[in-house]
Structure 1
């Protein structure tokens, strides 16, 4: 069971800026002490390149780089576990996790923004950070932070996974929100208590929430408008024979012509990104989509778009 943001371009959470003063306070000359091209965590199916920069009297800086969609658990979904493992394995004497910076490499094209993101954790126990928040950091800011050259790519040490059997056919389809499994969000606990019981679903049918809220990205806009656009996009795409891999770009272009806000455009794009779409699962309830599903249920959205994986027989 994964987060909504599995292997996909990160929908920006509520802004949490990291100004130059904060970065400059952490900046210091460091040396590259670890360059592990295939860092793994036992029990978690994911790999990434770890560059760890250290110096006496300074907080370590960890830079994680991953090929999106090709290395198992994404850096965003595994942020807490990955950072905790690096902390425990490489700098256990530290009272805080290393300064965590991640970069996912997107091969699909210009829509997929490849950039460095700094992750700040709100708290947690030793080797178990919690509450990750993301913000963009430039390559220049990162190099100023570590005082050394930071590699931007996976490079020759990357070992791609073995070839897998033919992938199922991807099919986007309408889906009744009420038929989605009961979500069990594992982030944003203050505004997303675990699950949506039947009485709360009934209440939201009578008193739906349509307005934006500032608590988190998932409550940051009107899911009714987003899903109305999604149904329209799906119909147009079927008529024009748009391939599943082209649906995100097609949806984004439609949002622009429809005068959608930035949040609405981003939310619509997540519904049609093949790595980030809501994907119901018979076994676990969700492959992706719990947080968005809960936000839609609370707003009494009736119909959304999900992604099915259809095995070819």
Structure 2
């Protein structure tokens, strides 16, 4: 089970400036290059490049192909960083400086780039409060004082897909009332998403909706009323043209461009029609994906959104 993966920059302001990068810079050597790093009890792998030097804080560079089987880098960053800390740097008082790189296919709305992740606090092997900021390849190599590989590595072994049993469900995008979504339990952004949305607040926001952007996080960073109005238009046009679910993201991006949408609106709209990131309600787990966006929509008083369902033919 995954959670939200914003198409653009990850939530939160840049946690540190260039002064800190310079203070952390030191000549290091590549001490670990594990193309299939795994964390105990977690599904998913990534390439780990660990750079170390005496008297310098270790730097871990995690690289993963987008939509690999298992837990993604963004959703698993706390647990992945903790596992690297415990396994390779157990004597350190702080987690390694963490840099991640998600490799997206060419033409995707998401960018393939390095991101520095700083944690606001950390107990022993348990970092918390991740905050992302962009870091260039050149800045990263200056930080570690060595060459940093940008690919997944020749040792990566993609999972061999086993034949799936029949029948296969059909993916269907459909209109859905936001107040009918299960109560979210967001696990990040505790300041602005402390404990979901109680029923009385949901209905109050339906009567007194909020518009506009807030600076607290990506999820509250734009007007979900505008985005969902576009989403419903996209859904209506796509049905008239029988657009395949796997092509819906591209169809939505074309609509956003024609409508003159902002970057945030375009990114948010893309997440609603990306089959890997769309809001997916679940009767068993409440959400397969999307509870942070659902929380932001409930906070804004949005009435209708678009969700993704897996429907089995009768």
TM-score by length of 2: 0.93
2:247 counterpart residue number:
246
Is the contact between residue 202 and residue 301 of structure 2 (CA under 8 Å) also seen in structure 1?
A: yes
Is the contact between residue 15 and residue 133 of structure 2 (CA under 8 Å) also seen in structure 1?
A: yes
Q: Deviations over 1:31-66 (max 9, x none)?
A: 010111111111111111111000000000000011
SS of the residue corresponding to residue 2 of structure 1 reads: coil
Q: Distance in 2 between matches of 1:291 and 1:302?
A: 16
2:200 counterpart residue number:
199
1:113 counterpart residue number:
111
Is the contact between residue 8 and residue 110 of structure 2 (CA under 8 Å) also seen in structure 1?
A: no
1:160 counterpart residue number:
158
Q: Distance in 1 between matches of 2:133 and 2:163?
A: 36
Is the contact between residue 11 and residue 266 of structure 1 (CA under 8 Å) also seen in structure 2?
A: no
Q: CA deviation at 1:111?
A: 2.7
Q: CA deviation at 1:311?
A: 4.2
Map 1:1-313 → 2, pairs under 5 A = 1-5=1-5, 9-16=7-14, 18-107=16-105, 109-166=107-164, 168-311=169-312
Q: Deviations over 1:141-180 (max 9, x none)?
A: 1111111111111122111112133464322111111111
Q: What CA RMSD, in Å, does the superposition of the two structures yield over aligned residues?
A: 1.7
Q: Distance in 2 between matches of 1:188 and 1:126?
A: 21
Q: Distance in 1 between matches of 2:261 and 2:31?
A: 46
Q: Distance in 2 between matches of 1:112 and 1:142?
A: 20
Q: Distance in 1 between matches of 2:108 and 2:8?
A: 14
TM-score by length of 1: 0.94
Q: CA deviation at 1:18?
A: 4.2
Is the contact between residue 40 and residue 47 of structure 1 (CA under 8 Å) also seen in structure 2?
A: yes
Structure 2, unmatched stretches of 5+, are: none
Q: CA deviation at 1:262?
A: 1.7
Q: CA deviation at 1:110?
A: 4.0
Q: CA deviation at 1:246?
A: 2.2
Aligned residues: 311
Distance 1:89 1:17, change over 3 A: closer
Q: Distance in 2 between matches of 1:310 and 1:122?
A: 41
Q: Distance in 1 between matches of 2:30 and 2:91?
A: 18
Q: Distance in 1 between matches of 2:108 and 2:271?
A: 15
Structure 1, unmatched stretches of 5+, are: none
Q: Distance in 2 between matches of 1:112 and 1:199?
A: 36
Q: Deviations over 1:82-119 (max 9, x none)?
A: 00110011001111110101111123634331111111
Distance 1:10 1:67, change over 3 A: same
